[in-house]
Structure formats: structure tokens, C-alpha cells
Amino acid sequence: MDYFKPEGSRLICLLCAHYCRLKEGQIGRCGVNQNVQGVIKNLVYAHPAALHVDPVEKKPLYHFLPGTRALSLGTIGCNFKCPFCQNWSLSQEKTLRVKETVSPAQIVEAALKYECASIAYTYNEPSIFYPYAKEIALLAHDHGIKNIFVTNGFESSEVIEDMKGVIDALNVDLKSFERDYYKNVLGGSLDVVLENLKQFKEKGFWVEVTTLVIPTCNDSDAELFAIASFIAQALGARTPWHISAFHPDYHELSLPATSVQTLERAQRLGHQAGLKHVYVGNAGLENPTRCVTCNAILIERKRFDVSKNILVGGCCPTCQTKLEGVFDE
């Protein structure tokens, strides 16, 4: 795809749904794409700011190659401005301090060296460094390694179209169900995120959804039920929903951490909305995956480790119901 297109004396960046119109020398809202002499230069290309080997469960993805490792990388910058960002030191950084260059081939070499089944583009919003992610991803596929986007779901329609055959799975944040909150507080658009979630599903990507539950911001019964209902109805009742606990961070230091009671309430609401797989993250709770037909425990986890996986060809060994997701055959 073309990552930008001209409009008069400006260039329109096509990487995310902000579609920044950039004059010569201007940098977009994400802080990492700049109009430089007639092209948009991705300033973080080959400059990861974080690179770790994580369990894929930490992304979180629970129905995608469980028990495997994901080489996880992120850069600086973000196209949102969430005041509660739990990764703000990367996402809200606008100054490129990491001058070391890491080529796509070197990233894939690292993934092979550490026996990673996938590469996750995560920590900050990956659509803003899609040109780098895509080159890595295509090379990774050549080596049988899959690719994961951990994203706020604000991709442009052009990027989503281009991601087909490049990215295999996504964990998409659905941070709220309030239009004003998305627009004024997060700097995005609820409608775009909801539409993109449907597009990801329709186009055949494996999708799991995460909601960071923040006291007083999005933890009412009505809002949590609305989020869960959207997932169940628009994406399917078997779409995994990860409920994640907030801790005070960045500009949101006055709110308390999310209580276990609130997380369990959210889980109940998810089930009431019809979701079959609702997981409570980062709270030390057990998160088994059960068969939707016979209720047998198929996958058990201890924090981010898979302690038991009895799937056979992605199916329940008792009743042969297929578990939705991507599993080793």
C-alpha cells in the first residue's frame, strides 16, 4: 500500500484514522511520522524502544498458540493520549533517544533464536509504525513465525486492508463505550474502533478484546454490559474478552486501583451479555478456558504460564467441540 498521498501542498498520512494532513517538516499527532521533502518518513523505523520475549498470554492472547513465546517490540509514540496509559513512558515519548538500528531481519533472527512462535507489535500503538512492522511480519512469515498486533483499533481502512496476509491475530482495546470519552479524553473515536473491530473479524483475523476497567471512568454496570454486548453480538459470543485491572499511572494518579470485586462483577456482566470466554487479567485469578459445550477445562493457566492444555487438534477431547482460536494442529 501507499502509506501517504498528496493533497495540494500537504501529504495525508494513511497509517491511522487521524489521516493527518502534514505540511513540509510537520510531524503528525503520533509524534513519529513526518513530512520530509515530499514523503512521509516513519521516524521510528528500525528503532524499537522495547524488545522482550513474553508468553503470548501476556499480550493477552489466550486462544492463539497457547503456551508459546512472542517476541514483543514497540517504539515510542502513540496516536491516542489516554491519561491512564500504563505504558506512557514509551507511548507519550516524542523524542527519539534510541539511535541503535535494528533491521527487520535482525528482529526475525532474534525471534528464531529465542524460539518464538510469533512476533507481537505491542507496548505502544503499532499502526503508527506499520511500515516497520509489515517488513518484519513478511519476513517472519517466511520463517513460519506469526504476527500479532496489540492495538487501540484506530487503524485506517487502508492499513486494515493491507494487514490481510501480514498480521495473523489482534488484541484490540475497547476502552469505553462513550463517544465523548473516546473523543475528548482518549483522542480517538468510538465509532471507528467499533467499525474496525467488525472489519477485523469479517476479514478473518483472530481477534481478542481487552478492556482496562478504570474506577469511575468505565466501570458502571451499564457501560461494561454495553461493551460485552457489542462484542457478543458484533464479533461473536466466543470472542475472548479480557478484563484488565487499572493501577494509578501517568496523569491518572488520584483514582484507586481496580478491585477484584469490580473485575469479578465485570466478568459476571460479560457472561450475562452472552460471552463464553471472559478472562480477568493481572489480578492473580485463575483463568481456565472451558469447553463451550461440555464445560470441561481445556486450558489451565498460572499467571501467564499454561499449566495444562488438553486440546486435541484445537478440539475438546471429551465432546470434540472446536475451541475458536488458532492452535497447533
Please give the residue ranges that form the binding site for ligand SF4 (CB under 6 A). 13, 15-16, 18-20, 28-30, 33, 79, 128
**Residue with Cβ nearer ligand SF4 (33 or 118):** 33
As measured in angstroms, the least distance from the Cβ of 170 to ligand SF4 is 17
Distances in Å between the Cα of 234 and the Cα atoms of 195, 239, 272 are 10, 10, 16
Query: Whole-angstrom Cα distance, residue 92 to residue 129?
Result: 14
As measured in angstroms, the least distance from the Cβ of 210 to ligand SF4 is 21
As measured in angstroms, the least distance from the Cβ of 127 to ligand SF4 is 6
Cα 128 to its chain centre, rounded Å, is 13
As measured in angstroms, the least distance from the Cβ of 257 to ligand SF4 is 30
Please list the residues that pair with 40 across neighbouring strands. 35
| CA dihedral over 103, 106, 108, 111, signed as positive or negative | negative
Residue whose C-alpha is closest to residue 281's, from 61, 4, 93, 10 = 61
Distances in Å between the Cα of 98 and the Cα atoms of 4, 49, 75, 76 are 25, 6, 9, 9
DSSP secondary structure code for residue 312 in this structure: B
| CA dihedral over 169, 269, 230, 85, signed as positive or negative | negative
**Residue with Cβ nearer ligand SF4 (16 or 231):** 16
As measured in angstroms, the least distance from the Cβ of 130 to ligand SF4 is 8
Contact predicate 276/228, CB 8 Å: no
Cα 152 to its chain centre, rounded Å, is 6
DSSP 3-state assignment of 166? coil
**Residue with Cβ nearer ligand SF4 (19 or 181):** 19
| CA dihedral over 231, 235, 241, 243, signed as positive or negative | negative
As measured in angstroms, the least distance from the Cβ of 25 to ligand SF4 is 13
As measured in angstroms, the least distance from the Cβ of 179 to ligand SF4 is 20
As measured in angstroms, the least distance from the Cβ of 75 to ligand SF4 is 12
Residue whose C-alpha is closest to residue 65's, from 295, 316, 309 = 309
Query: Whole-angstrom Cα distance, residue 168 to residue 149?
Result: 8
As measured in angstroms, the least distance from the Cβ of 14 to ligand SF4 is 7
**Residue with Cβ nearer ligand SF4 (28 or 104):** 28
**Residue with Cβ nearer ligand SF4 (56 or 128):** 128
Sheet of 146-151, strand order: 50-55, 69-74, 118-121, 146-151, 169-173, 206-213, 241-245, 278-280
How many CB atoms within 10 Å of residue 221? 12
**Residue with Cβ nearer ligand SF4 (125 or 223):** 125
Using CB positions, name the residue nearest to ligand SF4. Answer: 28
**Residue with Cβ nearer ligand SF4 (187 or 248):** 187
**Residue with Cβ nearer ligand SF4 (18 or 63):** 18
**Residue with Cβ nearer ligand SF4 (20 or 172):** 20
